[in-house]
Structure 1
Amino acid sequence: MEKWDLFDENRQPLNKVHYRGEEIAKGHYHVVVGIWTINSQNEILLTLRHPDKDFYPDCWENTGGCVRAGEASLQGAKRELFEETGIDVTEEEFILFKTERTEDTFSDTYIVRVDRSIEELVMQEGETVAAKWVTLEELDQMVDRGEVGLPIAEKFLALRDELKNYLEKTSIY
């Protein structure tokens, strides 16, 4: 069973672990990561959730997940990206884009720049079944059509303008 480290509201370790699936006590938090993988064409990598997933099956999403007990946020981001896509990059290649506290999580959003063809990616058994590169505008349309899992769509909409500004600033054209 997956274990997560718990933190207080100031992100100080409580030296306690939490088991996935159990209710998190009020005032306790765990760390989740989201990774927006962007190629040199400023396209965003999305993966399609497995049809047997309990939540949001057959929906598109960016890479992400919970940081396991004993891992730092960046280690969790690196692990999740590799597990879900087969993309292996160094921790130094990740850019911490945003951190926010929600009801029971600290959510760290990372950006990583990677050029890989879809054919090079390795989907995680039981998690991801397909992948594609999309433009920001295509992602907007997918969100409007309800093709992106609701929690991911909400996070995307909350940071969309910042992401657009980032893409414009870092464009190679």
Structure 2
Amino acid sequence: MEIWDILDKQGNKTYKTIVRGEELKEGEYHLVVHIWIMNSKGEFLIQRRADALKLMPGMWAATGGSVIAGEDSKTAALREVKEELGIDINADNIHKIWRVTRKHNLADVWFVKEDVNIEDLELLEEEVSHAKWVAKEELKSMVTKGEFHNYGAEYFRKLYEYAGKN
């Protein structure tokens, strides 16, 4: 059973919690994290979600997940990368680049530059079926074809702009 802190639209804790799967009320949000890993070649590490997942089964997406009650966003980002891919990211190298407000969640988008060998990944099979490096153009193509989850034009514009500076 996963428990989430309930936040207001500004991301402040309401000091209430909810069990994953329960309905959030109007004006209630939970925090999620997206983690983008880019190598020194400018490629993004993406993952294919397991077919058995309820949300976006079999879809390519960024690494990410929900922030657990009592956890902060950065701790959750580091935990998700470790759980899903088996990678220990240096906390000093990961940076939050923005927050997206959705219907019932706030998504903190994190970025890290790290060269990771695909063969060294330890995928959490219940959540991740594959991982691969893709260039920006391939990622754009996958989004257009519906193979990669479309987080929205503004989301990708900000990601590519930030990645281009790093």
Question: Aligning the two structures, in what range does the TM-score lie when normalised by the shorter sequence?
Answer: over 0.9
Matched, 1:161 2:137: no
Match of 2:91 in 1: 91
Residue 148 (structure 1) shift: 1.2
Residue 53 (structure 1) shift: 1.6
Match of 1:147 in 2: 147
Superposition misfits of 4+ residues, deviation over 3 angstroms: none
Residue 33 (structure 1) shift: 0.5
Within 1, Cα distance between the matches of 2:89 and 2:16? 30
Change in CA separation of 1:135 and 1:67 when aligned onto 2, cut-off 3 Å: same
**SS at the partner of 2:74?**
helix
RMSD: 1.3
Give unpaired runs (5+ residues) of structure 1: none
Q: What letter corresponds to residue 158 of structure 2 in structure 1?
A: E
Most deviating of 114-123 and 93-102: 93-102
Residue 7 (structure 1) shift: 1.4
Matched, 1:12 2:9: no
Matched, 1:101 2:101: yes
Residue 107 (structure 1) shift: 1.2
Count of matched residue positions in the alignment of Structure 1 and Structure 2: 166
Report the identity percentage.
37
Within 2, Cα distance between the matches of 1:56 and 1:101? 19
**SS at the partner of 2:151?**
helix
Q: What letter corresponds to residue 72 of structure 1 in structure 2?
A: D
Within 2, Cα distance between the matches of 1:33 and 1:50? 18
Within 2, Cα distance between the matches of 1:38 and 1:7? 30
Give unpaired runs (5+ residues) of structure 2: none
Q: What letter corresponds to residue 16 of structure 2 in structure 1?
A: K
Residue 10 (structure 1) shift: 2.5
TM-score, structure 1 normalization? 0.90
